[in-house]
Chains A and B, each alone.
Chain A
């Protein structure tokens, strides 16, 4: 019979994967930019958030960290982890307890930070990264037994390639990720992986590649 899962849960698992990956990748970029803002390039944070279409203003490195993570914009950590939490709640009966708990804890970490007006420092990023590692670890543990994890993995890879395109030119690495995405899409659509993934190699611009992926996802998850 194959996998039994509602479109709503499939979509939630997909977006859960995307948001966790987005948080992880954003934190990684923020740390890199933070280091530069201190004494190499004052505008490194501005340039970074320009990639997200966000106009960031700050006076020093710590303020950059604070505004990047908790400022009033669509890529702050409270918002992103809140979306991850919501998707986890909707799909929780397809997640194991440990991964669900870590996702709730990740959101609680940023909630407490925002509520308590704690000065953002490296420790919070460290704590968040530990939680994210645990979340991915729990997902990885389950992969051999739960087909539903393909949706999480799909979301993770789509976010990864989307991020990659924002920060890098198209290259061999992005091709590898796109190949993996198509393999999963083939599995989910019930096709044999080898028959189509070869033909789905990256072609055209990054925008064309992303459009092709989204189009294929829309044919697989039918609301």
Chain B
């Protein structure tokens, strides 16, 4: 189902009708030429591929986006306060808002970091919040918070420049919010929390799926792109190894690898992409890590259930943006509901990401559903259940025709001295009709997002 056409859409289609549609192929030429890639490993092979791109942008009115912006600022503010509280006094647990057991069983909760507060008490520096627009209530709903290493911003950033070059009429005739400032949001946040030294972007390396993004953002932020062995820790301080052997102090790290891999002396000893000793430097307050270690607990799919309560608890406000209706089998009442309605619910494994571990009840057989109930019964903390949100399709121009495809929206929120919401985002669409999984790792494509006003 497509969203009702607005004046903004009409203006877009009016200009679109006068454009040379054959020029669409220039987008692919651009992505090939500049290796705008999201790489994959398939059957043990490394495959360089560009992310499928659709030329029809998602259009959101400035007025509508203002509400999203306020809702996201509120949410990220509360999540940051939650993490700071959880790793210090844990009042929210002591006061019974969130069950202690529920927090402690979250795989992203790192009790070793209890009592540590990072630079400027900021933990949620770069956040990717996934939303969809519900067709029933015609409102935006939050599906997921990504508070560890959210990726994807470089794709709309790169393609916008190309769009302006190929089809300038849209940008001349419509009031579309500019988007170039996003890397400066991150750079400013890095400067704000910097503990003395240069800023670096830590990448797992050339063969990471998002290497293009790491390299792109490092360039735009004027930060050094480094691999783990190009950093070294001495006397609890982190240093950049310059080409000539000199050591240069690092004050802030935008790390593009998960907690488990960041320091083999602290976490997974098998990690070859981490920096030995970096956690010690971090705990000594000598370097800022973006995002903070231990954030995984806040973007745990089970903890997501409690975010509206966090907003009420920490800010004394009602949530501006709603969660999708969610049930926790951990609670007996919710479990009963889930078991009675499992065929119409979406079941998610809290430990999975990227569209993995998502089961749609309506696509499963009775035997499969019965098996699933047994697994849920045995491990209730491992799952959440959500009502299937019928979210709007977006128009896509695929194989020379306009078709409707499910699409979500990842908004980027950067927290430094203040909380900034990027006036763009990553709209991801499913390649197949009726498919609800839009993730890039599931083969989904992306389109530009235009925040517009008349």
Q: CB within 8 Å of B: which residues of A? A: 1, 3-10, 89-90, 92-94, 97, 100-101, 104-105, 108, 188-190, 220-222
Contact = CB atoms under 8 A, between A and B. Distances in A.
A6 B225 CA distance: 8
B215 A101 contact: no
Given A4-B198, A6-B230, A97 B34 contact: yes
B34 A100 contact: yes
B241 A4 contact: no
B211 to A, nearest CB: 8
Interface of B: 32-35, 198, 206, 211, 215-216, 218-219, 224-227, 230, 240-245, 248
A190 B243 CA distance: 12
B35 A104 contact: yes
A104 B33 contact: yes
A3 B243 contact: yes
Nearest to A188: B244
Contacts of A90: 206
A107 to B, nearest CB: 10
Given A4-B224, A93-B215, A93-B225, A10 B34 contact: no
Contacts of B225: 9, 93
Nearest to A6: B230
A189 B246 CA distance: 11
A100 B215 CA distance: 12
A5 B227 CA distance: 12
Nearest to A14: B243
A51 B33 CA distance: 33
B34 A220 contact: no
B224 A6 contact: yes
Given A93-B215, A93-B218, A10 B32 contact: no
A93 B240 contact: no
A5 B248 CA distance: 10
Contacts of A5: 224, 242-243
B215 A92 contact: yes
Contact of A6 (B32, B215, B226): B226
Nearest to B35: A104
Nearest to B240: A4
B227 A8 contact: yes
Nearest to A101: B33
Judged by DSSP, the binding face of B is: mixed
Nearest to B161: A97
A94 to B, nearest CB: 8
Nearest to B248: A4
A190 B241 CA distance: 17
Contact of B230 (A1, A7, A93, A105): A7
B120 to A, nearest CB: 25
Contacts of A97: 34
Nearest to A95: B219
A1 B35 CA distance: 32
Contacts of B243: 3, 5-7, 9-10, 220-222
A9 B215 CA distance: 12
Nearest to B246: A2
Contacts of A221: 243-244
A6 B206 contact: no
Given A6-B226, A92-B219, A221-B243, A104 B32 contact: yes
Given A89-B215, A221-B244, 19 more contacts: A1-B248, A3-B243, A4-B198, A4-B224, A5-B243, A6-B243, A7-B242, A9-B225, A9-B243, A89-B206, A89-B211, A92-B35, A92-B215, A93-B215, A94-B219, A189-B244, A220-B244, A221-B243, A222-B244
9 contacts: A1-B248, A4-B242, A6-B224, A9-B225, A90-B206, A97-B34, A101-B34, A104-B33, A188-B244
Given A89-B206, A92-B219, A6 B35 contact: no
A189 B227 CA distance: 23
B38 to A, nearest CB: 14
A4 B244 CA distance: 9
Contacts of A9: 225, 243
Contacts of A220: 243-244
Contact of B32 (A1, A4, A89, A108): A108
A5 B32 CA distance: 27
Contacts of B241: 6-7
Contacts of B215: 89, 92-93
A86 to B, nearest CB: 8
